Copies of this chain bind each other. A is one copy, B any other.
Amino acid sequence: MDIAVLAGVGLALFMVLFGIISGGGDFAAFINIPSLFIVIGGSIGATIAANPKDIGFKIVQISLEALKEPKIDYINLLRTLVSLSEKARREGLLSLEENIEQIDDPFMKKAIQLVVDGTEPELLKSMLQIEIDVMNSEMSLKRGLFESLGAYAPAFGMIGTLIGLIQMLKSLNDPNSLGPSMAVALITTMYGSIIANAAALPLAEKIGKRMINLEMEKTMIVEGVLSIQAGENPRILEEKLKAFLPANLREQYEAATQEATA
């Protein structure tokens, strides 16, 4: 579970509730089933039309998936690559075959398998790059789903409000109904804005930022595996990969390594 998504969306929605409560707490005034249908139905319809068939129809499944955070353990990754490098120097590249089973990350697993199979460096590099591109393109299709939703929800909110206003204005003879009718019309805009700003757009941004991190991790693995294949010194490999770590993780890694060697 990505605790930041849950906590953030939860906090944002709670604040909306708090606004309603602090204004008198008349919840009924904020619930309007047709408005909900127009906004959710309309924006999901437009989102399905705008996205590839196999992505658009799985909108609920992808939303649930987006709540899971891909775990990236840079320190462990660096340690694994250094130890594989050391083993390869001592016992040869073929000896890495024994370690493939223990590798969790499927991308790294495949990369090491290709090294053991004796794939040419150029081919290895281009195959791993294609994998990264395909991963990026799948994630950006998922991000596109939430971007669509975040754009169409306010639009259908406004369409719903226009429908409500037109209905209200057509029958303006009863001035007492003016206020409540207008309130109902505005609810649709509010729903659209909440869906976009408290859920769809933050999720789209989050997926975009995960993409950057995952690409960084994969690039680190590619650098490491190519260095192992080339038989580079494990110390140089370590130095090179440490450059990928942000300052705090680097200190953490160095502390842990010193402890281990002490």
Q: Which residues of A contact B (CB under 8 A)?
A: 2-5, 7-16, 18-20, 22-24, 26, 29-30, 34-35, 37-38, 41-53, 56-57, 69, 114, 119, 123, 126-128, 130-131, 134, 137-138, 141, 144, 148, 151-152, 155-156, 158-160, 162-173, 176, 178-180, 182-183, 186-190, 193-194, 196-198, 201-203, 205-206, 209-210, 212-213, 216, 236, 239-240, 243-246
In the assembly, how many copies of this chain are there?
5
Flag if A246 contacts B138 (CB, 8 Å): yes
Tell me whether A190 and B159 are in contact in the complex, defined as CB-CB below 8 angstroms, given that A8-B49, A164-B23 are known contacts: yes
Q: Which of B127, B182, B240 contacts A123 (CB 8 A)?
A: B240
Give 8 A-B contacts (CB < 8 Å), ordered by A residue.
A16-B42, A18-B34, A126-B240, A128-B243, A130-B243, A134-B216, A144-B209, A159-B193
Tell me whether A41 and B14 are in contact in the complex, defined as CB-CB below 8 angstroms, given that A144-B209, A243-B127, A244-B134 are known contacts: yes
Tell me whether A193 and B162 are in contact in the complex, defined as CB-CB below 8 angstroms, given that A15-B45, A37-B15, A123-B240 are known contacts: yes
Flag if B12 contacts A41 (CB, 8 Å): yes
Chain B min CB distance to A189 (Å): 6
